[in-house]
Amino acid sequence: MARFVIRRLLQSAVVLLGVTLVVFLLLQLVPGDPVRVALGTRFDPQTYEALRARAGLDQPLVVQYFDYLRRALTGDLGVSFRSGRPVTAIVLERLPATLSLAVTAVVFAMAVAFPLGIVSAIRSGSLVDHAARVFSQFGVSVPDFWMGIMGILLFSGVLGWLPPSGYVALTEDPGRWASHVALPAATVGLVTASILTRFIRSSMLEVLSEDYVRTAEAKGLRTRVVVLRHVLRNALIPVVTVVAVQLASLLGGVIVIEVLFAWPGIGRLTYDAVAARDYPVLQGAVLLVAALFLLVNLLVDILYARLDPRITVK
């Protein structure tokens, strides 16, 4: 296991290196001068040249890239063109908001999808099964921003139960945090739950048709025992992949939802960085998202071996 983890970490380092190169090259193709945009009405030639020199933009591209790599290895991702603050500090400030939203949304999605998917598979063809499939199709088809707007109109505008936007840190006030995270997490969670429901149902139906399941039922075991002990664990393997992909995507920031609910996460940070041509912040955010994706994939591979002893990691 240790050799596997070390090898995967080395592979992840190579992937992150490729990510930095691709992002750096793509940013060179974006029209507009980031320093000119950052200065705005305060523009003057002396300040302009000083900021370009400070950011290293007056150097050749090869020198700029390797200088960025050298600093990134020490945790220095540069300085924001817009605020003048270190990018590392800016990104880490936004990470807790994204983590809380992503984890809450995934927990909500699993709380909805697992019971619905399991019951739908066990009672295939029933009214519950048809309702689950309609819910799944609805969640995949309807845009999340529309569901968010409807949620704001209903729960904030009409009922007045929840705040329409904003963020409060969990450590600052758990009660207010819960009220603020409820709407964006439910919006994102419903989309994730609809995807999970389909995968759980199909995975459960596949395992339910196996011979060992029919043998367990023929021995007189109760349905609950068969499902919990024999079916669910084997059906979880492909479902874990879907959960991991959804979690990694949410950790990357849900830009539309974060903008809609004024949620100060990685997605909102990326959106603001693109609008302001703040390339150092954009590079830092993309690098963090890539690292989170790789970390989640590594954890999933390790979890596979725990769920199914037949799977070995080498």
The secondary structure of 5-70 as a DSSP string is HHHHHHHHHHHHHHHHHHHHHHHHHS-S-HHHHHHGGG--HHHHHHHHHHHTTTS-HHHHHHHHHH
- Find the range with the poorest average confidence among 66-75, 265-274, 298-307: 298-307
Across the range 2-10, mean pLDDT stands at: 77
Binned at pLDDT 50, 70 and 90, residue 130 comes out as confident
Would the pLDDT of 33 be above 80? no
* pLDDT of res. 267: 84
pLDDT tens for 214-252 read 777 677 777 677 777 767 777 777 777 788 878 877 876
* pLDDT of res. 135: 83
Query: Which domains, ranges and CATH numbers included, belong to the chain?
Result: 98-265+293-307 (1.10.3720.10)
* pLDDT of res. 256: 83
Would the pLDDT of 313 be above 60? no
* pLDDT of res. 266: 86
Binned at pLDDT 50, 70 and 90, residue 295 comes out as confident
Residue whose C-alpha is closest to residue 281's, from 269, 265, 268: 269
Binned at pLDDT 50, 70 and 90, residue 94 comes out as confident
Distance CA 95, CA 185 (A): 16
Would the pLDDT of 253 be above 70? no
* pLDDT of res. 164: 85
- Find the range with the poorest average confidence among 6-15, 175-184, 264-273: 6-15
Across the range 48-63, mean pLDDT stands at: 73
Would the pLDDT of 55 be above 70? no
Q: Which residues are CB-neighbours of 164 under 8 A, at least 6 positions away?
A: 152, 156, 157, 183, 261
φ/ψ of 79, rounded to 5, equals: -125, 140
* pLDDT of res. 43: 63
Residue whose C-alpha is closest to residue 257's, from 186, 161, 311, 203: 186
Would the pLDDT of 41 be above 70? no
Helix axes 2-29, 61-72, angle to 10 degrees: 140
